[in-house]
Amino acid sequence: MQQTRQRIQQLWQRLQTTAAFSYTATPGPGSRTGWQGWGQGQVTVERVSATELHFIEQGSFTLHNGPAVEMHNRFIWQQSRGGVTLSHGRRGEPVFLFELIPAGDALWRSAQDHVCIDDLYSGNLTENANGFELIWHIHGPKKNEQLVYRYSPDIS
């Protein structure tokens, strides 16, 4: 358990230095969302408490063969007993996505898939020299999506 607490604290420090993001959205076979494109922007980290951080993301998203649109997200990170949880802040309410637990050196994986209506959410996080990469998987009757987020402390 001590090693897990140390890993959580190490990731927690990394989360607090985040200033920028980029991501790609790629639909897989059977997806009917048309959610394909890329985005980028800035992250403002809001420390709500010693165990809760909010990522306030502002930037743009460009649909494949489409226009760029402004985007805003709030992601809520919370320390848990065995790792960290990620939720999406929607209309002022957190919507749980998944809990990430240590799975190896610099690797975190979903403790289990999370069911949201008919969809399953899971994720992997890999720490690296320039921040971290968070890969989401969303599967459901109409969805087969992969979102690859890259977070860094550098805005450039």
Please state the domain extents for the chain.
2-152
Indicate the helix (H) or strand (E) that contains 8: helix 2-16
Top CATH class of 2-152 equals: mainly beta
Q: How confident is the model at residue 108 (pLDDT cuts 50, 70, 90)?
A: very high
Amino acid letter for position 119: D
Question: CA 78, CA 12: separation in Å to the nearest integer?
Answer: 9
Per-residue pLDDT tens over the stretch 78-91: 999 999 999 999 87
Tell me the whole-structure pTM to 2 decimals. 0.91
What residues pair up with 21 in beta bridges, in sequence order? 41, 151
Q: What local confidence, expressed as pLDDT, does residue 156 receive?
A: 60
Cβ contact 37:24 at 8 Å: yes
Question: CA 57, CA 74: separation in Å to the nearest integer?
Answer: 6
